[in-house]
Chain A
């Protein structure tokens, strides 16, 4: 079989360079991130319209302390992920695994703080379609946006632990750790929009 035949028959991976000169796995993660951005953007844009249109939108958040701590934890976990990837690229496996697990621990702490906050709001009477403060849509939009984000954090923590362990065992390499890191940074990036739109706009003065 000639070179031209291989190309015509679709065995392009062996002959043609990958799209944008990046590994296929990384490209797949970027495509996932673009698609997931659209999902979150859909929720946040719809929420933004509802929030601005209703003058009596509930403002149940009395303090920014909890959300500030959660933000610092998540942004710091992005930094520790970068340290882990750098260590992996430098060939320091033990250090890479340590930073990856620190990142996962940050994610777990974030999730626990998030759940504690949810339980506090539920105690105050907030439900999916009702709350004591005003528009019934507040509960639906709050729980769906923060819930979707929390689901991503949980998935990210599981992915970090699994990839970290498999990287330590030699089944995965530094590229796999970097690709998992891309996902983790995306989770952090989404939080940068959730905090101002869902929490800070609804702060009681």
Chain B
């Protein structure tokens, strides 16, 4: 492998100005990320407009900062409030919150930051090695392969999403249909615009993501305004000791490797990996009873695993152009705005941008580690501010940000419509993540679907001549049918399908 472009990429990233924006990204990412209900996808969507006017490289670096800051923001609330920002840090709350109750919040946050750093670093190094190989392989994909792969990606996200699969599939189908709105790329006809000229270019991705992730959450929280706000746990100054580090090193190493591999899979790679890591550490522990009562391994393993997974989920995005989860869907949108089309061609045609993205992750991750610990006190202070004050400020950020997308108020109205839709989806048990993901991939999927049909001249049996497509479609059917079959078998045997760790996760509410 040729390392020259990698090194050159570092030269770009390390310019003082870029470094500063990365730092800024981590800070605003963490600040918004600790707000109630706002997970990484929402945080990045809300802050996206800040990067519009920047140079691509600077924008990407700031985004990487926001990305890592937002993820760590979820860890902070999991430990201090027992309110994980997203499902993947729900596991952290299991032992992180009890650690806080024992006066070890600083220790838990410190180990969390270190674990995140190690997990991220392991995954970035592996990504540096693996990504160009996968991209090279994917260059051989034709329309049928892309159609099948995209379909599989959407289905996997719908299957692994929170909640019912049937409802997740509805969200995915709705997302695909929303992507149809606007001018048809093949015939030039206007579709589903209802005569509205502003819809002729189709809906944009950012206002949809801002609506269903950001505004929906703010609206949902309005329902709970009559309830008291939880008080964060006091943070001591105690940092992890040598003994803690020794105890955590095994879980971190295992979590990092586990997270990397599970993160490549589409769907909730980060969530699954933190659950698997927690289960694994509990199983091999000499004293499993400590888990759930403040075991440091229960924070170290899952935090490393979920950050490794969050990072390695960049692999399908950067090499295949297919986002593996909601956060990646938002990153996909962000890169597209900068004129970077993630996909197999990126490494070949724009190596400086590709390596710029990868290297900015190294830097974002490092800045997070250096910053996280000294700044914990500040973030705790943000947690004390009532959400009745923070929500309207976030609302204004959303409003101004939405206007910035294309300098018109139409986008603000789109955010409001999708905010209300997202609120209703949340109320009625529909996970919005498949909708956003399917919307992002909708045009790509239809395009390749129609190309494939024309290629086959309507004779679908020709798929048999394309082994990759056939395999992908077989996996697709397997993923669709397997849960139903498994359910029937377990019902038949009358077994409880839930393991220890998964029942515990359900008890921890995700905001």
Q: Do A and B interact with each other, yes or no?
A: no
